[in-house]
């Protein structure tokens, strides 16, 4: 039985072209700034995002935390939505590393409005922590792969500029958002002071993320990366795969989105609650409550059929389409879902 792994797009394995590029990569010691392949990746990524500089980092979490460390001072507060990766999945790192607390906004589908953010910005008051940063997640993981519109991003940028506040975009899946919405990643980055994106998710590189911003910001982030032990030596081996990811992989993401929508429609026909029209990218979050089955139970039953998923909460189960899921595997996953639910009913 081949396993159909819908847990995350992080499970994607490097392509043959990536392996080849890794094998051939020219390398040097990147902590000394000597690795030509890392430099090439950083320049390519900065260019793509229309920012002056970029930094290759170990993980998306490290990229987000370097942004917080580099934008904020100890005691500052960062505005995030309550379901954001930064608030939910980064192990309390803003408090641990930067001494930054989070002001969490409750936003439908993870997409905050400028008005909600405006209401969360602190006045100058000795009792209150100063707002130091606004963080947006695009596409939004726990929101179900939802995306910011450019209009919304620009409204938020204008608000931030008006308050003299920096904006960071957690764009772990920014290429999914760009493909789904038909905008350029540089148009998103243009609405922010910094942006992080992952090479290791839908773009299928084995390891690594990119942080972009202006030169001075990236110099600070580079120093913080060293503080955290994230200075890598012959990292060109990894950067080579990242370059292939950026050059070859973004366009095919539309396929993952098509399959996610197909999965959502099939799940909805089976009685799982999901707004199939709202599925724009590669993430589907099903609500199992109508079936009277918890997400953990559904996950277990699917696992017995070789279908792997992620539990979001009591009744929410996430499935993610990606490079390693073709049409045939998707149809088998749908058939497995139908078999499990029909037996349940
Ligand atoms: C995966 C993810 C990250 C972090 O990436 P890691 O490489 O797993 O640390 C950050 N933000 C979002 C929205 C993510 O989905």
Task: Give the CATH number, domain containing residue 266.
Answer: 3.90.1150.10
Please check whether residue 5 lies inside any domain of the structure.
no
CA of 34 relative to ligand 1 center, distance in Å? 28
Q: Determine, yes or no, domain membership for 1.
A: no
Q: What confidence score (pLDDT) does residue 265 get?
A: 96
Is 281 near ligand 1, meaning CB less than 6 Å away? no
Are 162 and 75 found together in one domain? yes
Task: Clarify whether residues 105 and 76 are in a common domain.
Answer: yes
The residue out of 200, 231, 248 marking a domain boundary is: 248
Query: Are residues 269 and 216 part of one domain?
Result: no
Note the pLDDT of residue 344. 67
Domain edge (last residue) among 194, 221, 248? 248
339 Cα–ligand 1 center, Å: 32
The alpha carbon of 11 and the centre of ligand 1 are apart by a number of angstroms equal to 13
178-181 contacts, C-beta under 8 A, 24 or more apart? 178/250, 179/250, 179/251, 179/253, 179/254, 179/257, 179/281, 180/139, 180/147, 180/254, 180/257, 180/280, 180/281, 181/147, 181/149, 181/150, 181/280
Q: How far is the CA of 269 from the centre of ligand 1 (A)?
A: 31
Q: Is the CB of 60 under 6 A from ligand 1?
A: yes
Do 223 and 259 belong to one domain? no
> Of 178, 213, 248, which residue sits at a domain end?
248
Ligand 1 centroid to Cα of residue 155, in Å, is 25
Domain count of the fold of the chain: 2
With a 6 Å cutoff on the Cβ, whether 61 touches ligand 1 is: yes
Domain that holds residue 140: 11-248
Determine whether the shortest distance from the Cβ of 141 to ligand 1 is under 6 A. yes
Q: How far is CA 12 from CA 77, 199, 245, 320, in A?
A: 35, 11, 12, 11
The pLDDT averaged over each successive group of 10 residues in the chain (345 residues) is 95 98 98 98 98 98 98 98 98 98 95 98 97 98 97 98 98 98 98 98 98 98 98 98 98 97 95 86 94 94 97 96 98 96 74
- 197 and 274 in a single domain? The answer is no
Distance 292 CA to ligand 1 centre (A): 31
Same domain, 216 and 282: no
Specify the pLDDT at position 218: 98
Decide whether any atom of ligand 1 lies within 6 Å of the 80 Cβ.
no
Mutate to test the pocket of ligand 1, among 90, 169, 198 (most ligand atoms within 8 A of CB): 198
Q: Are residues 108 and 29 in the same domain?
A: yes
CA neighbor of 324 nearest in space, from 14, 91, 1, 82: 14
139 close to ligand 1 (CB < 6 Angstrom) = no
**What is the CATH classification number for the domain harbouring 235?**
3.40.640.10
Q: Same domain, yes or no, for 219 and 259? A: no
Question: Does ligand 1 have an atom closer than 6 angstroms to the CB of 172?
Answer: yes
Beta strand 4-5 with 307-308 is parallel
Q: Supply the pTM of this predicted model.
A: 0.97
pLDDT of residue 108: 78
Residues 80 and 183 in one domain: yes
Quote the pLDDT of residue 273: 87
pLDDT at 60: 98
- Say yes or no: CB of residue 168 within 6 Å of ligand 1: no
Query: Do the domain assignments include residue 263?
Result: yes
The CB of 137 under 6 Å from ligand 1? The reply is: yes
Examine the domain organization and report whether 312 and 174 are in the same domain: no
| Judgement on whether residues 294 and 312 belong to the same structural domain of the protein | yes
Check residue 279 and give its pLDDT: 95
Q: Residue 2: inside a domain, yes or no?
A: no
Q: What is the pLDDT at residue 283? A: 98
Pocket-testing residue among 97, 141, 144, ligand 1, by greatest number of atoms within 8 A of Cβ: 141
Residue 51 lies in a domain: yes
Q: Are residues 208 and 267 in the same domain?
A: no
């Amino acid at each position: 039985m081949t396993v159909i792994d819908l847990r995350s797009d992080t499970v994607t394995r490097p392509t043959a072209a990536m392996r080849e590029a890794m094998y051939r990569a020219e390398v040097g010691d990147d902590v000394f700034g000597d690795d030509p392949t890392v430099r090439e990746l950083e320049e390519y990524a900065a260019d793509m995002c229309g920012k002056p500089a970029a930094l290759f980092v170990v993980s998306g979490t490290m990229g987000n935390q370097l942004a917080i460390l580099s934008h904020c001072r100890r005691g500052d507060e960062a505005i995030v939505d309550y379901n954001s990766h930064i608030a939910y999945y980064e192990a309390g790192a803003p408090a641990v590393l930067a001494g930054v607390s989070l002001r969490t906004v409750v936003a439908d589908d993870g997409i905050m409005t400028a008005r909600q953010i405006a209401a969360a910005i602190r006045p100058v008051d000795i009792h209150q922590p100063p707002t130091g940063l606004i963080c947006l997640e695009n596409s939004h993981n726990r929101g179900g792969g939802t995306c910011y519109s450019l209009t919304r991003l620009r409204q938020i940028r204008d608000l931030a500029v008006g308050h003299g506040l920096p904006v960071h975009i957690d764009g772990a899946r920014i290429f999914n958002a760009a493909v789904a919405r038909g905008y350029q990643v540089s148009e998103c980055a243009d609405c922010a002071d910094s942006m992080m994106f992952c090479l290791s998710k839908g773009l299928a590189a084995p390891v690594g993320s990119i942080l972009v911003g202006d030169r001075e910001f990236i110099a600070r982030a580079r120093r913080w990366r060293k503080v955290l032990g994230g200075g890598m030596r012959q990292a060109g081996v990894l950067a080579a795969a990242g370059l292939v990811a950026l050059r070859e992989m973004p366009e095919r993401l539309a396929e993952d989105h098509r399959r996610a929508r197909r999965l959502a429609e099939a799940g909805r026909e089976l009685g799982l609650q999901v707004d199939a029209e709202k599925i724009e990218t590669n993430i589907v979050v099903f609500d199992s409550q109508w079936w009277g089955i918890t997400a953990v139970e559904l996950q277990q039953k699917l696992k017995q059929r070789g279908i792997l998923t992620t539990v979001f909460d009591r009744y929410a189960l996430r499935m993610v389409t990606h490079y390693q899921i073709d049409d045939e595997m998707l149809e088998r996953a749908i058939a497995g879902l139908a078999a499990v639910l029909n037996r349940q009913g």
